[in-house]
């Protein structure tokens, strides 16, 4: 048999139909649904008189547009549009008989955090969701695609996705990370290297010692941002760390089923002589804690660097850099570590897991914030409960952080959690686009530890100085 990549193996195990031109119907094992990109899909089903083909493979949770403040179970507490979207999801989940975690359920949270937490996401699966950060689930060695609403409707109706196979790209992070460097710094550094279009047309497999050394939480952070590098999905081969995480989760297999699954999962790795269309290697030792200075995730630099000048770039990027500096209110040559911050946001599907909160709390212990406002939005109700139990919630509260309920919150600022004009935020989320966190708001993407450091000093700060 010819050698295969991990992507090849999962792909081959899911092709339900292949046309002569290579267009495939890829069978979907898990379909995650949220309130913002699904209403039009369910509406389409109703209009055509169609059913959900596999309701027991379909899991819904409201997250993007829910309030993250106390008392939100009361519909009165929601803005009109949230209420409409959440009510639509309530009704669709009920009418079509799919698994559902309403806001009142402690298991509710960001869809990409809930899936793995509940054991819905398992190695070797195909997972889709109407959200680009579905790539997160690739951390389990699952092929996970973000899809548009038409595709959501297509998967609901047929449990398949029309796909052509992507190319294989390997991103290897060798050696060990230095202290203070985290999964977020890895994933941002990779985008800094490849650009936001560098992965277009590829599925990326992350490998190497530094990736192996990461916890599942860290691996999810890395894969989460594969999409920001343009890739169709990110993958990490499952190993003992993965199996340990999965074991005992509510929807993971049990007993003999688990053993059978494990036997297959252990075959899920790229063969030694598999073919790669593109390979990138980064030395783990070379990665520093990074921040973004512009309005694209590729605008990333080590915290020790200076704000670049548009002349440092070529082609269309010159104009884009000019525009970004103007939008961000920055001058070329300014030290990144001199940039003053108004607000700190810790949360999102990139960095809203327990490990992220622990890393931030480690820095915050016994300190007070020096920014105007700081908020933590745990990725799920269960993450929140665990943080309460570990005493982390108190560390945040004592430091002056708002301690919110689970949801996407200021990652995309659809609900009232928004930046005001020119407000400058250090955020652990994944997008620093213009207006992403609020009209004319300014976002610097960082790791949770770096966000905590910025909260304490009031400016972008090298977390290593505080360790």
Partner 1 sequence: MEKFETLTGIAAPMPLVNIDTDMIIPKIFLKTIKRSGLGANLFDEMRFDRQGNEIADFVLNQTQYRETQILVAGDNFGCGSSREHAPWALADFGIKVVISTSFADIFYNNCFKNGMLPIVMPQEVVDVLMKDAEHGSNARMVVNLEEQTVTSSDGEVFSFEVDSFKKHCLLEGLDDIGLTMEKAASIDAFEAGAAQARPWV
Contacting range for partner 1; rule: CB under 8 A; set: 43-51, 99-107, 179-187, 274-282: 43-51
Dihedral (Cα; 322, 323, 325, 327), 10-degree rounding: 160
The correct pick among 182, 187, 343, 430 for binding ligand SF4 (CB under 6 A) is: 430
Q: Per-residue x/- marks for partner 1, 242-261, CB under 8 A?
A: -----------x---xx-xx
The correct pick among 75, 97, 148, 391 for binding partner 1 (CB under 8 A) is: 148
Q: Minimum CB separation from partner 1 for residue 261, in Å? A: 5
Q: Which distant-in-sequence residues (6+ apart) come within 8 Å of 414 by Cβ?
A: 36, 64, 65, 408
Which 409-428 positions form the footprint of partner 1 (CB under 8 A)?
412-414
Q: Minimum CB separation from partner 1 for residue 385, in Å? A: 28
Which 66-125 positions form the footprint of ligand SF4 (CB under 6 A)?
110, 112
Q: Is 421 exposed, middle or buried (0-12, 13-18, 19+ CB in 10 A)?
A: exposed
**Binding of residue 190 to ligand SF4 (CB under 6 A):** no
Partner in contact with 187, chosen from partner 1, ligand SF4, none, beta carbon below 5 to 8 Å by kind: none
CB nearer to partner 1: give 113 or 414.
414
SS3 303: coil
Q: Minimum CB separation from partner 1 for residue 67, in Å? A: 13
**Binding of residue 48 to partner 1 (CB under 8 A):** yes
Q: Minimum CB separation from partner 1 for residue 447, in Å? A: 21
**Binding of residue 319 to partner 1 (CB under 8 A):** yes
Distances (CA, A) of 130 to 51, 117, 284, 343: 18, 19, 33, 29
**Binding of residue 184 to ligand SF4 (CB under 6 A):** no
Q: Which run of H or E residues covers position 292?
A: strand 290-292
Q: Is 411 exposed, middle or buried (0-12, 13-18, 19+ CB in 10 A)?
A: buried
Backbone angles phi, psi at 87, to 5 degrees: -65, -40
Structure tokens at 270: 């790229």
Structure tokens at 449: 């530890």
Partner in contact with 436, chosen from ligand SF4, partner 1, none, beta carbon below 5 to 8 Å by kind: partner 1
Partner in contact with 358, chosen from partner 1, ligand SF4, none, beta carbon below 5 to 8 Å by kind: none
Q: Which distant-in-sequence residues (6+ apart) come within 8 Å of 139 by Cβ?
A: 116, 216, 219, 220, 222, 223, 234, 236, 242
Q: Which distant-in-sequence residues (6+ apart) come within 8 Å of 227 by Cβ?
A: 132, 133, 134, 135, 146, 234
**Binding of residue 291 to partner 1 (CB under 8 A):** no
**Binding of residue 349 to ligand SF4 (CB under 6 A):** yes
The correct pick among 4, 133, 219, 442 for binding ligand SF4 (CB under 6 A) is: 133
Q: For residue 447, which of 323, 331, 356 has the smallest C-alpha distance?
A: 356
Which 266-305 positions form the footprint of ligand SF4 (CB under 6 A)?
none
Partner in contact with 411, chosen from partner 1, ligand SF4, none, beta carbon below 5 to 8 Å by kind: ligand SF4
Q: Determine how many CB atoms are found less than 10 A away from the CB of residue 395.
A: 23
Contacting range for ligand SF4; rule: CB under 6 A; set: 230-238, 334-342, 366-374, 406-414: 406-414
CB nearer to ligand SF4: give 409 or 461.
409
Structure tokens at 208: 């190497």
Q: Minimum CB separation from ligand SF4 for residue 37, in Å? A: 10
**Binding of residue 451 to ligand SF4 (CB under 6 A):** no
Q: How far apart are CA 197 and CA 219, in angstroms?
A: 21
Q: Which distant-in-sequence residues (6+ apart) come within 8 Å of 381 by Cβ?
A: 105, 106, 107, 108, 109, 405, 406
**Binding of residue 150 to partner 1 (CB under 8 A):** yes
Contacting range for partner 1; rule: CB under 8 A; set: 105-113, 154-162, 275-283, 441-449: 154-162
The correct pick among 103, 171, 291, 412 for binding ligand SF4 (CB under 6 A) is: 412
Q: Which residues make up the interface to ligand SF4 (CB under 6 A)?
A: 63-64, 110, 112, 131, 133, 348-349, 408, 411-412, 429-430
């Amino acid at each position: 048999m010819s050698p295969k990549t991990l992507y090849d193996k999962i792909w081959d195990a899911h092709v339900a139909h292949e046309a002569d031109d290579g267009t495939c119907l890829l069978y979907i094992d898990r379909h995650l649904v949220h309130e913002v990109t699904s209403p039009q899909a369910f509406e389409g089903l109703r209009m055509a008189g169609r059913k959900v083909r596999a309701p027991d493979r379909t899991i819904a949770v409201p997250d993007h547009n829910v309030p993250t403040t106390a008392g939100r179970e009361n519909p009165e507490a929601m803005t009109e549009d949230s209420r409409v979207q959440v009510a639509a999801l309530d009704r669709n989940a009920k009418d079509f008989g799919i698994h559902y975690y309403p806001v009142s359920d402690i298991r509710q949270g960001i869809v990409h955090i809930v899936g793995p937490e509940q054991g819905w996401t398992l190695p070797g699966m195909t997972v889709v969701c109407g959200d680009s950060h579905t790539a997160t689930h690739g951390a389990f060695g699952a092929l996970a695609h973000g899809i548009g609403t038409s595709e959501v409707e297509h998967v609901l109706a047929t449990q398949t996705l029309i796909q052509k196979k992507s190319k294989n790209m390997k991103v290897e992070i060798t050696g060990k990370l230095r202290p203070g460097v985290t999964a977020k710094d890895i994933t941002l550094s990779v985008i800094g290297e490849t650009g936001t279009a560098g992965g277009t047309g590829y599925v990326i497999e992350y490998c190497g010692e530094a990736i192996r050394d990461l916890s599942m939480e860290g691996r999810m952070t890395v894969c989460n941002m594969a999409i920001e590098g343009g890739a169709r999905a990110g993958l990490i081969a499952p190993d003992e760390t993965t199996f340990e995480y999965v074991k005992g989760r509510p929807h993971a297999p049990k007993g003999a089923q688990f053993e059978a699954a494990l036997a297959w999962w252990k075959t899920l790795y790229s063969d030694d002589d598999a073919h790669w269309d593109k390979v990138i290697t980064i030395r783990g030792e070379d990665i520093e804690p990074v921040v973004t200075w512009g309005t694209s995730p590729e605008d990333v630099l080590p915290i020790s660097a200076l704000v670049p000048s548009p002349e440092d770039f070529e082609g269309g990027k010159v104009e884009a850099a000019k525009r970004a500096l103007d939008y961000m209110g920055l001058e070329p040559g300014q030290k990144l570590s001199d940039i003053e911050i108004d607000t700190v946001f810790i949360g999102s599907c990139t960095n809203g897991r327990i490990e992220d909160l622990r890393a931030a709390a480690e820095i915050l212990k016994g300190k007070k914030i020096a920014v105007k406002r700081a908020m933590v939005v745990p990725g799920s109700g269960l993450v929140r409960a665990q943080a309460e139990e570990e005493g982390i919630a108190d560390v945040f509260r004592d430091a002056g952080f708002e301690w919110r309920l689970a949801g996407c919150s200021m990652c995309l600022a659809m609900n009232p959690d928004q930046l005001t004009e020119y407000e400058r935020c250090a955020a652990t989320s994944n997008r620093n686009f213009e207006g992403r966190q609020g009209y004319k708001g300014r976002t610097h993407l960082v790791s949770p530890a770096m966000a905590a450091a910025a909260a304490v000093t009031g400016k972008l700060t090298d977390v290593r100085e505080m360790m």
